[in-house]
Amino acid sequence: MSPRYDVAIVGGGIVGLATALALVQRSRGSVVVLEAEGRLAAHQSGHNSGVIHSGLYYKPGSLKAQTCTAGREALYRFGLEEGIPHRRCGKVVVATRPEQLALLELLEQRGRANGLQRLRRLGSEALREREPEVAGLAGLWVEETGVVD
């Protein structure tokens, strides 16, 4: 007799595996993950940038902003709990032309509205101190951004 499962998840990428993990953790019965490739995360999940996004760019109050913010903090916690290499290294968004300064201001407002607490506006001198190889008029330091392996 073939094994029987309560749930079958098709696809062993990050979404399929995260779904399986959530179901198992919530004791939702027996779960099987079906993957056509010879290994897990063989496609996009295995080739992503590894960036932990801050939520800076999304419209405040939108579902995308809410899920990005919640997901960012959940990923940092998960990395700590499971010993997964990651760094909250931050990033700099740079305005290189005068017409970009208004967009930098808008991004700062969006970031604050999306709950980013550690945003800092950088003038050209502070920008060079933070990142010597960048030439710009101003920047925005976004500490919540990170990377994960």
Q: Do the beta carbons of residue 147 and residue 86 sit within 8 Å? A: yes
Question: What is the pLDDT tens value at each position of the chain, 149 positions in all?
Answer: 788 999 999 999 888 998 999 999 998 789 999 999 999 888 876 677 889 999 999 999 999 999 999 999 999 999 999 999 999 999 999 999 999 999 999 999 999 999 998 899 999 999 999 999 999 999 999 999 999 98
- Distance (Å) of CA 64 to CA 6, 45, 71, 110, 133: 31, 19, 10, 13, 32
Token output for 3: 């094994």
pLDDT of residue 44: 75
Domain range annotation of the chain: 1-48, 50-149
Written as one letter, the residue type at 61 is G
Point out the catalytic residue in the list 43, 47, 53, 86.
Answer: 53
pLDDT of residue 28: 76
Q: Give the C-alpha separation, 31 to 127, whole Å.
A: 50
SS3 at position 59: coil
Q: Give the C-alpha separation, 85 to 114, whole Å.
A: 26
**Is 86 annotated as catalytic?**
no
pLDDT of residue 46: 67
